[in-house]
Amino acid sequence: MRDRLAGKKALIYGGGTGIGLACAEAMAREGAAVFVSGRREGVLHDAVQVLKAHGKAGFAPGDATVAADVQRVTAAAVKFMGGLDTILVSAGAGGRTPIFDTPVEEFQRIIDHSLLPPFLAMRYGAEHLMAAGKASVIVISSMYGLVGQKERAGYCAGKHGVIGLVKSAALDFADKGVRVNAMCPGFVETPLSLEVVKQEADPEAVLQAKRLMHAIPRAGRLDEMGEMAVYLASDPAAFVTGQAFAIDGGYTTR
């Protein structure tokens, strides 16, 4: 199926790599104009060369935790695409954060990088989303936004908070033509996640354990994340809002 997002105008935060880029590419393949943002200009430039093969694509660097950057990126996206009706936020930070010895500053860093990007993206994109008449916001949370995980207090708190933000914002927007939903992926083999695994004493064993922790015994694929994002951005999902969709191979059913 093609052109499910024909005429859509999508801004993707964290769109230069990983899940964000996979979602941007899936949207572009389905006919959307896309505009990606992130901190690394070179990465964004390379991503846009790939995205341009599918249609209109642009970028602007910025820090999604900084209000002024989000305002600037939003304005640039609206100018480039001639409007804005879809926002996807793939941003966050992780790290080991046991209750017993985690520095307050590290906990705060993870919370800020989890919650500020979707809040700011909606705060400064709201007027454009409402003007579009039919719009969608998609926020990448995690399966650890649905359950707990040992020594990951900061990450779990941040990703649970994302879902609370999504549900509240969905109600604010519900009668204004804007839908807000979250995706909750399991372990996906992105460049970043694989780089983190490489730091382990036995990377191959850790990678295999991460794959097998799902009831469906493998990692999630980037194309599967993109497909979910396309559905949530599309008109057939017009009655879907305020939801947190687990795409985790059954991990959270246990």
The answer for residues whose C-beta is within 8 angstroms of residue 84's C-beta and 6 or more apart is 9, 11, 74, 77, 78, 125, 128, 129, 132, 135
Please state the length of the chain: 254
Catalytic residue flag (residue 155): yes
Percent helix, strand, coil in the chain (nearest 5)? 50, 15, 30
- Do 17 and 190 form a contact (C-beta atoms < 8 A)? yes
Of 124, 144, 155, 231, which residue is the catalytic one?
155
* Dihedral, CA of residue 189, residue 195, residue 201 and residue 204, to nearest 10: 30
The residue whose two tokens read 């305020």 is 242
- Do 111 and 154 form a contact (C-beta atoms < 8 A)? yes
Q: Within the chain, where are the H helices?
A: 18-29, 41-51, 67-81, 104-132, 153-173, 191-198, 203-212, 222-233
- Catalytic residue set: 155
